């Protein structure tokens, strides 16, 4: 991903209210707001334009992140229709400053965004189907550039919807692959910008430690959640991770593998046997 200078304007001087984001030498513009600021957002002239938008919130039934990705030729009118949706509490809109986004362009972007968000899997998607319009080669390249800017700006505006769970593909400092072994379980992972990721096909012990329920109830609850959502499945007496899974810390990740409390700085080791603590010099 290319470097970028992102300018963030706060109309009310509050980073939690309406925000406007722009990137140097890019014709796009982003606007973000909490649901409580929707009327201020709708009053902006940019919302007369065509573009794509994200409704971000939580599924009230499961407590998991939920998103709606859409497109519209007049963003304002479409967002008004979404007032009936209860789950969302934040909205992000992307438009073009030169008004060159056609219906075909925004449908192409919507389709690509839905594909990426589904593949990354941080959010469940309320909508998954979209048209896949054919664009001339030059237009496709332009929209891929636009899409790359959306990937850059969206986290700055507070959403990790399009941020890979496995971390950046080109981190500033390459993180070594680490291993967590206990009994016949073996997990692989590494630090990421968001915490720590355990890679798909890693394994965790099936049985909880006797002390887990009394001393580490968060581990019990977290493992139950991962089983319920299909992240962990039972196979050959172990739990197997069905996808890359991010945790808030190495210790939280190791605890799930161990079935009880664990110190992630010593539980995770590289191929040579050095602990994460030794590798980081802490």
Dump pLDDT digits (tens) for 31-55: 999 999 999 999 999 999 999 999 9
pTM (global) more than 0.85: no
Residue 167 has pLDDT above 70, yes or no: no
Same domain, 149 and 222: no
Angle at 115 between CA 114 and CA 119, to 5 degrees: 115
Same domain, 229 and 136: no
Residue 164 has pLDDT above 80, yes or no: yes
Same domain, 226 and 272: yes
The reply to whether 172 falls in a domain is no
The reply to whether 70 falls in a domain is yes
Cα–Cα dist 60/177, whole Å? 36
The reply to whether 166 falls in a domain is no
The reply to whether 152 falls in a domain is yes
Q: Could you tell me the residue range of the domain that residue 261 belongs to?
A: 178-279
User: Residue with structure tokens 């075909």?
Assistant: 104
Residue 91 has pLDDT above 90, yes or no: yes
Three-state secondary-structure class, residue 203: strand
The reply to whether 182 falls in a domain is yes
Of 157, 144, 129, the C-alpha closest to 70 is 129
Mean pLDDT (whole number) for 165-182: 74
Mean pLDDT (whole number) for 246-270: 94
Ranges assigned E (strand) in 154-259: 178-182, 185-192, 195-198, 203-205, 232-235, 238-241, 245-247
Q: Which two tokens stand for residue 111?
A: 């389709």
Of 40, 111, 20, the C-alpha closest to 70 is 111
Same domain, 130 and 195: no
Q: Tell me what percent of the residues of the chain surpass a pLDDT of 90.
A: 77
Same domain, 124 and 228: no
Same domain, 184 and 148: no
**pLDDT score for 4:** 86
**Top-confidence residue, 61 or 259:** 259
Same domain, 183 and 136: no
The reply to whether 169 falls in a domain is no
Residue-by-residue DSSP string for 70-139: EEESSHHHHHHHGGG--SEEEEEEEEETT----HHHHHHHHHHHHHHHHHH-SSEES----------HHH
Residue-by-residue DSSP string for 152-180: HHHHHTT--TTS-TT--SS-SSPPPPEEE
Our count of domains for the chain comes to 2
The reply to whether 68 falls in a domain is yes
């Amino acid at each position: 991903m290319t470097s970028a200078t992102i300018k963030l304007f706060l109309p009310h001087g509050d980073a939690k209210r309406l925000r406007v984001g722009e990137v140097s030498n890019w014709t796009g513009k982003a606007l973000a707001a909490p649901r409580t600021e929707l009327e201020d957002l709708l009053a902006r002239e940019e919302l007369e334009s065509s573009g794509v938008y994200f409704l971000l919130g939580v599924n009230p039934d499961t407590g998991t992140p939920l998103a709606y990705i859409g497109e519209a030729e007049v963003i304002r009118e479409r967002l008004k229709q979404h007032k009936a949706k209860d789950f969302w509490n934040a909205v992000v809109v992307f438009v073009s400053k030169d008004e060159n986004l056609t219906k075909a362009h925004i449908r192409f972007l919507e389709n690509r965004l839905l594909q990426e968000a589904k593949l990354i899997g941080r959010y469940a998607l309320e909508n998954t189907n979209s048209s896949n319009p054919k664009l001339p080669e030059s237009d496709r390249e332009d929209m891929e550039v636009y899409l790359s800017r959306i990937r850059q700006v969206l986290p700055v505006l507070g959403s990790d919807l399009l941020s890979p769970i496995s971390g950046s593909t080109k981190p500033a400092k390459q993180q070594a692959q680490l291993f967590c072994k206990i009994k016949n379980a073996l997990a692989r992972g590494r630090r990421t910008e968001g915490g720590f990721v355990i890679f798909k096909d890693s394994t965790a012990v099936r049985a909880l430690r006797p002390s887990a329920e009394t001393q580490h109830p968060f581990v019990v609850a977290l493992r139950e959640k991962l089983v319920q959502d299909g992240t962990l499945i039972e196979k050959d007496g172990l739990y197997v991770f069905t996808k890359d899974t991010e945790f808030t810390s190495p210790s939280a990740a190791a605890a799930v593998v161990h079935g009880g409390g664990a110190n992630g700085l010593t539980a995770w080791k590289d191929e040579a046997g050095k602990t994460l603590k030794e590798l980081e010099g802490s």
